């Protein structure tokens, strides 16, 4: 985990650092993360960066959901994403 910043692109690093700031038990949308990194039109690129996240769940990409409230994707499957979010106390209405 220590060298993750050296093993990803600058864009991925910015996305992962933003995701690390999402408090446990909360979620943000891909669009919100894009705005957090100063790239408001890059929601899909944020999704691709999170898809490439090899350091999950330490870099908690499971805390990022689609704008319509659906869970979106997760490398270990949506069921695993749902379990992680429930474990963190995210509202059952979302998951």
Which of the residues are catalytic?
Answer: 61
Which pairs with CB-CB distance under 8 Å and at least 24 residues apart come from 79-88? 84/57, 84/60, 85/27, 88/24, 88/25, 88/63
Rounded to whole angstroms, how far apart are CA atoms 12 and 5? Answer: 9
């Amino acid at each position: 985990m220590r060298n993750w910043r050296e093993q990803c692109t600058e864009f991925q690093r910015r996305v992962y650092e933003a995701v690390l700031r999402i408090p446990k038990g909360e979620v943000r949308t891909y669009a919100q993360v894009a705005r957090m990194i100063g790239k408001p039109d890059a929601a899909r690129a944020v999704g691709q960066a999170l898809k490439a996240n090899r350091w999950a769940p330490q870099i908690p990409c499971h805390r990022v959901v689609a704008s319509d409230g659906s869970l979106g994707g997760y490398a270990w499957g949506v069921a695993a994403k749902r379990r992680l979010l429930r474990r963190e106390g995210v509202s059952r209405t979302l998951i």
